[in-house]
Chains A and B, each alone.
Chain A
Amino acid sequence: MLHKRLCVLALLLLCVCVAGYLLLGSRGNWGFVLSFRGNKLVALLLVAVSVSTATVLFQTVTQNHILTPAIMGFDALYLLILSVSVFVLGAQQFVHLSETGRFLLNTTLMMGAALMLFGTLLGRARSDLFRMILTGIIFAGLFRSITGFIQRMIDPNDYVVVQFSSFARFSRINLPLLAIAAALTFAGCFAAWRMRHRLDVLALGSDAATNLGVNPREGMFQVLFVVSVLVSVSTALVGPLAFLGLLVVSVARQITPTETHGLLLPSAALVCAITLVGGQLVLEHLLNLNTPLIVVVDMIGGLVFLGLLLRRKRR
């Protein structure tokens, strides 16, 4: 009951942020301002929902509360794919691909690669948290060094393109692209929501899940599939978001300390949306800063990650 009320409260807060973001300090042509900001707002909300959902799902199947797909090497994978695309196609070709084409290419490549990465991570070492973190870090290192190698072979002029896409940016995104991203995000979140009771059981661990009639391998595969769709879409849309998921899900767990996915999924999505929209509102309209929001989020998120790792007593 209390949790439901908190969620309603968060929803209100989100509405305030949204209204503030759309209206604050806007002068001149309303139609233009609203469509410009509305477009960015939709992107922020899509990213919020997919990042938080992917993180919750990932934490459920890995049975811990400090890992996220990004930390486990996914961001490095994104940069690798980006560099390889630019290297193979050349920056000219790469930039001239339609935005939608580039998005679809990125998403498809990343989904395939993500499935392989997460499948490997969870295949053997799952019972051992530290072995899993280590594997993730080693993968990330491997991806980074290959990326570095490729970047040395890229024409310096082309390299600018890679560098530009290496940070998450919530700039204006064209409409067809936004529509595709929205459809994929919606499909992923719908699948996660349909699974919510099964996720509760999967979170108990594979023996307990089997005992309760839930096939853990099947469940894990479905979850990882949804996770790779969601992270690929959000990363292809705006770029890598290293610690965002971890930060918002940790905060959501503090606010609604529950293991029930029916509550945790919406509460994490709300926290994430408030963080992104509210953060962008403050940075862009109140402080008039041009710093990408993600830089601030990453700094706080990184500290939270360290804190969790050091404080980790249970499990």
Chain B
Amino acid sequence: MIVVTDLSHDRDGVATLKNINLSIERGGVTALIGPNGAGKSTLLSLMSRLLPIQRGTIMVDDLQIGRCPNDVLARKLAILPQSNDTAPLLTVRELVSFGRYPYHKGRPDQRDREKVEEAIVALGLQPLAERRLDSLSGGQRQRAQVAMTFAQDTDYVLLDEPLNNLDIAASRSLMAVLQELARNHDRTIVIVLHDINYAAAYADRIVAMKDGQIVASGSPDEVLTETLLWTVFETNPKVHRIGAKVMVQV
């Protein structure tokens, strides 16, 4: 379980997060939604020690972020940051192999190689495995990044807008992979999504943020109402309900 307590954060003197309290249960897909600048990336960066915590605490199971050793956390939690233009000269397989670094520290064994293959297959990257990253499209590169996170084999996976650059087929298959990971492998996925319909379709929980605060959290059915969308995004699309499914008309 990830427990965030009294978390506040300033960036350049501007309050970006204001006293956040949040707990994310183990298992399942949690989607973080909210307008640009709401503080979603900041929250994810703090959870994954990419930014130092200023006030408040974050616990991931029994590990306190900022206090626990870096490499221990790397086997517990993985982050895919919003913009990543890592080493363009690597091949897809080399990049994915880095996901195993927290385990082997430079000396991969058979099991590490198997995990890498598994990740490549899971994201359908077999035909691209030997290609260099700078020869791929944005979406393919994104998939390679996700595969690296997959190979890292952590209980918690945080992804910041991984659907950027992905077409509908790639988006759906990535979400399906994440859902499967959560359901059958007891992983906890926290994902920032821009398209609310993806959140509605694939997330078990939705957390809505605005101006550095949490406005609502709960199942998609509870959270996605016309009133809430107006409060959070200041726009008023129609929300359709088909049985338990929610769809936002765009």
Contact = CB atoms under 8 A, between A and B. Distances in A.
Interface of A: 196-198, 200-201, 203-205, 207-208, 210-215, 257, 259, 314-315
Interface of B: 48-50, 69-75, 78-81, 84-90, 94, 98-99, 101-102, 105-107, 134, 152
Given A201-B101, A204-B98, A212-B101, A259 B134 contact: no
A212 B86 contact: no
9 contacts: A197-B106, A205-B86, A208-B84, A211-B48, A211-B74, A211-B152, A213-B75, A215-B70, A314-B88
Given A198-B106, A259-B94, A207 B84 contact: yes
Contacts of A211: 48, 50, 74, 78-81, 152
Given A196-B106, A197-B105, A204 B70 contact: no
A213 B87 contact: no
Determine chain B's interface SS by DSSP, over half rule.
loop
Contacts of A205: 84-87
Given A198-B106, A207-B84, 4 more contacts: A200-B106, A211-B74, A259-B90, A259-B94
Given A196-B106, A200-B106, A257-B89, A213 B81 contact: no
B98 A201 contact: yes
Given A201-B98, A205-B86, A314-B134, A212 B74 contact: yes
A308 B180 CA distance: 46
B75 A204 contact: no
Contact of A207 (B69, B81, B99): B81
Given A198-B106, A201-B98, A215-B70, A210 B49 contact: yes
B81 A214 contact: no
A315 B85 CA distance: 8
Contact of A214 (B50, B70, B134): B70
Enumerate the 10 nearest inter-chain pairs by beta-carbon distance, A residue then B residue, closest first.
Answer: A197-B106, A213-B74, A213-B71, A213-B102, A204-B86, A212-B101, A213-B70, A207-B81, A211-B79, A208-B86
A311 to B, nearest CB: 14
A44 B156 CA distance: 52
A215 to B, nearest CB: 5
Contact of A203 (B50, B87, B106): B87
Contacts of A200: 98, 106
A213 B89 CA distance: 22
A207 B50 contact: yes
Contacts of A257: 89
Contacts of A259: 87, 89-90, 94
A118 B87 CA distance: 22
Nearest to A203: B87
Nearest to B99: A212
Contacts of A196: 106
Contacts of B105: 197
A126 B167 CA distance: 33
Contacts of B87: 203-205, 259
A314 B87 CA distance: 10
A76 B71 CA distance: 40
B28 to A, nearest CB: 22
Contacts of B81: 207-208, 211
Nearest to A210: B50
Nearest to B88: A314
Contacts of B79: 207, 211
Nearest to A204: B86
Contacts of B152: 211-212
Nearest to B149: A211
A202 to B, nearest CB: 11
A211 B95 CA distance: 13
B88 A213 contact: no
B115 to A, nearest CB: 14
